Structure 1
Amino acid sequence: MYLLFEEAGAFKTGIERTATDASIQVELPSGRRVKVKTANVLLRFREPNPAQLLTEAEALAETLDIDFLWEVSPEETISFETLAEAYFGKQASAVERAAMLLKLHSAPIYFHRKGKGLFRKAPPEILQAALAGLEKKRKRQAQIDAWRTELLAGKIPPEWAPLLDQLLYAPDRNQIETQALEAAATERNTTPTRLLIDLGAVASTHDYHFGRFARELLPEEAAPPHWDEALATAWSSLPQADAPAFSIDDHTTTEIDDAFSVRRRADGGWRVGVHIAAPALSIADGTELDRWARERLSTIYMPGHKITMLPPSAIAPHTLAENQWVPALSLYFDLAPSLALERTETQLERVFIAANLRLNALEPHFNEQTLSDGLPEPFPWRDELKLLWDVATVFEAGRGKSSVQNGIVDFLFYVDWAITTEDGPGFVTLVPRPRGAPLDKLVSEWAIATNVRWGEWLRAHDVAGIYRGQPPGEKVRMSIHAEPHEGLGAPCYLWATSPLRRYVDLANQRQLLATLGHGEPLPADRLAELIPAFETRYAQYQEWQRHMERYWALRWLRQERVETTTALVQRENWVRLESAPLAVKVPSLPLLASGTRVRIAIETVDLVDLDLKVRYVATV
């Protein structure tokens, strides 16, 4: 006797060998014997043989009309054999009975199982809802298949245009667009992101990375508020500074926050002015411009791109551009002939900016070598710069801390968008610049001296400020308390010299102006509210700057077709390239001491994942 039985949700056939009331020993077509519960046996038959029954029944089941079976079935529970006899006749064969079982079992939306071999047809309303769901699923899959075919043909479906940003940066796997994209990417043996980029979803890999930054960190696009020129009418009443000033910046700087003036006193001493742009004079707390700046909190820097904290209309009247009178908050340092500091004085005034000096033009004349030679060649502002340098060294010695870390090479990035390379618009130039150059130290020391003294001034006037402190043994932190800064060797340190570029400096400038009688200072709790948001956003901006610097460094390797380069071992199998600001893991690197110079071969440069694969070549 042959048996059809159910085991673990599957139908199987075999030959009955021995039986008890509770179980039967069955030999499967493969020859293996299994023990089957008697209750699991659904059909006993003599022909065809067990190996043929399911094959023939499956073929016959495909011909059965499930809609017709549902129509003719009674409302009550019915067995598959009873329905088979009603459909095929009383003498229905084992194949026909098994075919009915398989058909009913395979259509759960038409027939609900009510026991072993027992079924009950679904109520009409439930069936219609289930069929509608199936049709929706069918159409959904048909759309996925159509989009997948379109993607594989090299075309992005035009109706995806509004969704491309989401598909690139925040795909939802429940969306059929994402499912179609993933299916096409799998078939192409790539990732969904790479497939979209290859198909032109973004103009270049640069746009892909910048788009992620914009989505995550930039406020929604809105028309910037306009700076009201009427606010400048009160500037004419400000006193005029008695010495011309000059700034020192990179040639790409447009928000010029600070400038210097130097005047020789009759007694042989000096009066040095540090002049800071004064946007807080006309951008009051709570105004539209203030809210715009507070939402951004800082100017955002990255190679080839800059997003300013203030809109251009507000930068133009305040930046310390040459050949014009501008309002400034000035801190004057009165120095004895010995360069000893005698006193400081804060003034709100108008300053004439005589020159915007640029680092690339200055450094050939003002560097370690020319300083050691006594600056023998004349150049504009030579004597003033020499005095500023001499005092800066006095400031540094007085603090006992260096303002810049020597021995490190930084890279300046310059992107020419007028040139297009094989990787898209933008030709990048990397300019190595040793950290700790004299001009860096000069600017840093005077900024520190100014921020320290203004911090002390606010504290002396009992006016709140936002400070950066570092108590002994702790990390640097921002607070409204004037704490010592161990890393700088300073009694306290205020951020107040970049009000065009950092919101904290703008807020602190309002506090400084209030001590001079211009407006009311904000209470400490209002300032404290700024700190968490600023620290978070500022760290995010810096991380994205590093991200985009890595991108452009990798672009430079491809642009210049660098095949091998030198690098310095940092630790274990990590090295840092000497030709570009890139650290990379070298699996093939032998065990070498930190600082060892090696030559590595560039194998692959990935501009999507920003990955670099290299191979050790030799120790130099």
Structure 2
Amino acid sequence: MNVFYEEAGAFKVGSILIDNNTSLQIEASHGKRSKIKATSVLLRFDTPPLSEFMNHAQETADRLDPDFLWECCESDTEFASNTLAADYFGHSPSPIEAAAILIMLHDAPIYFYKKGRGRYKAAPPEALKAALASRERKQRQAEQQAIYIAQLSAFTLPEAFRPQLLSLLYSPDKNSIEWKALEATCATTKLTPSKLLEKCGAIPSTHDYHLNQFLWEHFPEGIDFDEVNPENNRDNLQDLPISDVTAFSIDDATTTEIDDAFSVTPLTLGSFRIGIHIAAPALGITPASSLDKIAAQRLSTVYLPGNKITMLPATIIDHYTLGEERLCPVLSLYLNVADDFTVVSTESCIERIKITTNLRHEALEEYFNETTLRNNNLNHPFSKELRLLWDFSCKMEILRGKASDLNNEKIDYNFSIKNDRVTISERRRGSPIDKLVSELMIYVNTEWGKQLADASIAGIYRNQGGGKVKMSTSPAPHQGLGVSQYAWSSSPLRRYVDLINQRQLIALLRAEAPPYTKGSDALLIPMRDFEQAYAIYSDFQRGMERYWCLRWLLQENVHTIDAQVIKENLVRFDHLPLVARVPSLPEILPGTYVKLKISQIDLLERSLHAQFLHKQES
């Protein structure tokens, strides 16, 4: 005796070895023995032979029409499969016919709902109609997917992919047939989705690929601004007093958001007055205003080689930037300095100043550098002011316990992109221009942070302890700078935390209630968001600098290059801000210079292959 039974959703057959009433010991046609429950058995038979039964049953089931059988059933009544088989065949069904009906019912779940062992119910007409439509749609999708796979395998981009390229590259809908076709083709071609789409011509610009990925994730609504105007709804800037100082700024040639300027006024007996003047957008951009919401969303200007995404619209920047020959609203910190460069007293005020000129690094460095300082030969219209500010900066650096060596070998790199060609130039870090500006910025951020803390007015501080930098609403030492507290306040056109701190400072100077309290969400949320955004923007900038370094290697047709070992197989390329791992590098002491062979530069992956050639002679 043989049995036809169901196990794990599949039909099987076997011959009975032992019948224990509630269970059976059976043997399959290929000899495997197993134990099954008696309730799993759907029918028993002697003929045809076990080895032929399933083939005959399947052939019979394939000839059955589920549409016709569904028409024969009432949709609201359960039925036994044997009853349907008897009605269909017109006689008591043979084992083959009974099994065929069961197979057909099992294989047509959209027509018949299973209700128990051997029992089914016909699907309601509306449900069947919807299921058939869904099946037809899936079939069409499968056929379309096959067409996409064929096109992608031939490295041809399907036209339907073009409107979806950004989403396919950066945040695909993994249930879409386009993504499934792309994924299937990647599996056979052994390419990543981005590399496959690149081979299909969908990524004409690797630069735009990286930029668009960043914009897709962090600027989903685009980088353009709605048309806005300076609000000036808090103050009439024309009522601010006008200072008679001669002020100038120092920035690189690409800077449009000029946040800071300086002035030097001689006093009696060799003393002098230093003015540190910071652009004051907080006078017009009020909390929760439309402009404030823009700044709070962007949080910082984003920098990348050859481009930037500003925190504020160009019209607002132009209104508040410290452009030359303009009368500009500023928040000023004045330092009364003795002839030995000791700060005697300080004073903060809100005013307007006229910016005499915007000095640019590239032009100024010719006149203001280590050599001209050493020879006391500053042949420049602002030579006296620059010399005093330089000597003051050196004194402040010493007081912070951070005196630097003029022979500092650390290098900063500038990227210039013109007509898709990149120029990478080096500037030694800590040059006189850098030191002068940075020391004055450290002083103003330290002093204004102290003023907020002394007045018990909330601010956002940048603290460092144990080598870890964090943002906080509580003043604490910044060990890296050697100051007691440090509150970013000097770049309100470029950083949202500076704009917040400037609002607090203005309230302090005017003896008004500050707009932010220490524990308020209005202070804590922007601080948290800024810290996250600043890290993301910095990573993006480093990634794009790496991209342009690789572009430069290709552009200059560089095949070999010098590099310095950092540790293990990690090296830093000579004259480039680029690090890479060299798997073939032997065990060499850090600091050693080596010659490398460059190959396999991949701009999409921002990677390259470097091979060790030999050590450089000392």
TM-score range, shorter chain: 0.7 to 0.9
Contact 1:241 1:350 in 2 (8 A): no
Q: How does 1:459-498 map to 2 (within 5 A)?
A: 459-470=453-464, 473=466, 475-498=468-491
The one-letter amino acid of 1:443's match is V
Partners of 1:460 and 1:507 in 2: CA distance = 18
The one-letter amino acid of 1:235's match is Q
Alignment of 1:505 onto 2:507: no
Q: Check 1:92–1:584 CA distance in 2 against 1; reply closer, same or farther (3 A cut).
A: same
Q: How does 1:23-422 map to 2 (within 5 A)?
A: 23=24, 26=27, 28=29, 32=31, 34-35=33-34, 39=38, 40=41, 42=43, 44-45=45-46, 51-55=51-55, 57-72=57-72, 77-79=79-81, 99-100=100-101, 102-111=103-112, 118-120=118-120, 122-125=122-125, 127-149=128-150, 151-152=152-153, 163-199=164-200, 201=202, 203-218=204-219, 220-221=221-222, 222-227=225-230, 234-235=237-238, 238-242=241-245, 244-372=246-374, 374-376=375-377, 378-402=379-403, 406-416=408-418, 419=419
SS at match of 2:504: helix
Partners of 1:120 and 1:284 in 2: CA distance = 70
Alignment of 1:619 onto 2:615: yes
The one-letter amino acid of 1:306's match is K
Alignment of 1:589 onto 2:551: no
SS at match of 1:506: helix
Contact 1:365 1:377 in 2 (8 A): yes
SS at match of 1:298: coil
What are the superposed Cα offsets for residues 298-344 of structure 1, whole Å, 9 maximum, x if unpaired? 22212222122221111113212223332332222222233333222
The one-letter amino acid of 1:194's match is K
Q: Check 1:602–1:274 CA distance in 2 against 1; reply closer, same or farther (3 A cut).
A: same
1:397 positional shift: 0.9
Partners of 1:42 and 1:611 in 2: CA distance = 65
- From 428, 434, 442, give the equivalent of 2:428: 434
1:38 positional shift: 9.3
1:52 positional shift: 5.0
Partners of 1:149 and 1:584 in 2: CA distance = 38
1:253 positional shift: 0.7
Q: Check 1:2–1:485 CA distance in 2 against 1; reply closer, same or farther (3 A cut).
A: closer
| Greater CA drift, 345-354 or 228-237 | 228-237
The one-letter amino acid of 1:215's match is W
The one-letter amino acid of 1:275's match is H
Contact 2:463 2:469 in 1 (8 A): yes
What are the superposed Cα offsets for residues 238-265 of structure 1, whole Å, 9 maximum, x if unpaired? 22323x2222111111111112222333
What are the superposed Cα offsets for residues 208-241 of structure 1, whole Å, 9 maximum, x if unpaired? 2222222332373550421158999643752232
Q: Check 1:25–1:169 CA distance in 2 against 1; reply closer, same or farther (3 A cut).
A: closer
- Count matched residues: 603
1:393 positional shift: 0.9
Partners of 1:79 and 1:536 in 2: CA distance = 64
Q: Check 1:216–1:518 CA distance in 2 against 1; reply closer, same or farther (3 A cut).
A: farther
SS at match of 2:449: helix
Q: Where does residue 422 of structure 1 map in the other structure?
A: none
Unaligned regions of 5+ residues in structure 2, if any?
A: none
| Greater CA drift, 590-599 or 170-179 | 170-179
In the superposition, the TM-score normalised over structure 1's length comes to 0.84
| Greater CA drift, 195-204 or 87-96 | 87-96
What are the superposed Cα offsets for residues 396-428 of structure 1, whole Å, 9 maximum, x if unpaired? 111112589944323222222xx2xxxxxx322
The one-letter amino acid of 1:577's match is F
What are the superposed Cα offsets for residues 519-554 of structure 1, whole Å, 9 maximum, x if unpaired? 653343357334223222222222222232223223
SS at match of 2:396: helix
Q: Check 1:111–1:538 CA distance in 2 against 1; reply closer, same or farther (3 A cut).
A: closer
- From 447, 462, 473, give the equivalent of 1:453: 447
What are the superposed Cα offsets for residues 188-211 of structure 1, whole Å, 9 maximum, x if unpaired? 432333344444555522222222
Partners of 2:11 and 2:184 in 1: CA distance = 33
Contact 1:366 1:375 in 2 (8 A): no
Contact 2:332 2:351 in 1 (8 A): yes
The one-letter amino acid of 1:603's match is S
Q: Where does residue 547 of structure 1 map in the other structure?
A: 543
Q: Where does residue 523 of structure 2 map in the other structure?
A: 528
SS at match of 1:524: coil
Q: Check 1:520–1:95 CA distance in 2 against 1; reply closer, same or farther (3 A cut).
A: closer
Contact 1:403 1:445 in 2 (8 A): no
Partners of 1:339 and 1:112 in 2: CA distance = 92
Partners of 1:575 and 1:135 in 2: CA distance = 58
Contact 1:262 1:273 in 2 (8 A): yes
Q: Check 1:366–1:41 CA distance in 2 against 1; reply closer, same or farther (3 A cut).
A: same
Partners of 2:405 and 2:505 in 1: CA distance = 27
Partners of 2:34 and 2:291 in 1: CA distance = 83
The one-letter amino acid of 1:63's match is R
What are the superposed Cα offsets for residues 415-448 of structure 1, whole Å, 9 maximum, x if unpaired? 22xx2xxxxxx32222222322222111111111
Contact 2:303 2:541 in 1 (8 A): yes
Contact 2:445 2:486 in 1 (8 A): yes
Q: Check 1:482–1:215 CA distance in 2 against 1; reply closer, same or farther (3 A cut).
A: same
Partners of 2:209 and 2:402 in 1: CA distance = 42
Q: Check 1:585–1:474 CA distance in 2 against 1; reply closer, same or farther (3 A cut).
A: closer
Q: Where does residue 578 of structure 1 map in the other structure?
A: 574
Contact 2:113 2:122 in 1 (8 A): yes
Contact 1:458 1:465 in 2 (8 A): yes
How big is the alpha-carbon RMSD for the aligned residues of Structure 1 and Structure 2?
A: 3.7
The one-letter amino acid of 2:592's match is T
The one-letter amino acid of 1:214's match is L
What are the superposed Cα offsets for residues 466-518 of structure 1, whole Å, 9 maximum, x if unpaired? 33334x64743333444333322223222222122122222222333334438
Contact 1:297 1:502 in 2 (8 A): yes
In the superposition, the TM-score normalised over structure 2's length comes to 0.84
Partners of 1:349 and 1:38 in 2: CA distance = 93
Partners of 1:403 and 1:295 in 2: CA distance = 38
Unaligned regions of 5+ residues in structure 1, if any?
A: 420-425
| Greater CA drift, 441-450 or 203-212 | 203-212
Partners of 1:344 and 1:227 in 2: CA distance = 31
Contact 1:329 1:348 in 2 (8 A): yes
1:42 positional shift: 4.3
Partners of 1:70 and 1:454 in 2: CA distance = 83
The one-letter amino acid of 1:213's match is F
SS at match of 1:414: strand
Partners of 2:306 and 2:515 in 1: CA distance = 37
The one-letter amino acid of 2:584's match is S
Contact 2:598 2:610 in 1 (8 A): yes
Partners of 1:21 and 1:464 in 2: CA distance = 83
The one-letter amino acid of 1:602's match is I
1:95 positional shift: 6.4
Partners of 2:610 and 2:459 in 1: CA distance = 49
The one-letter amino acid of 2:496's match is Y
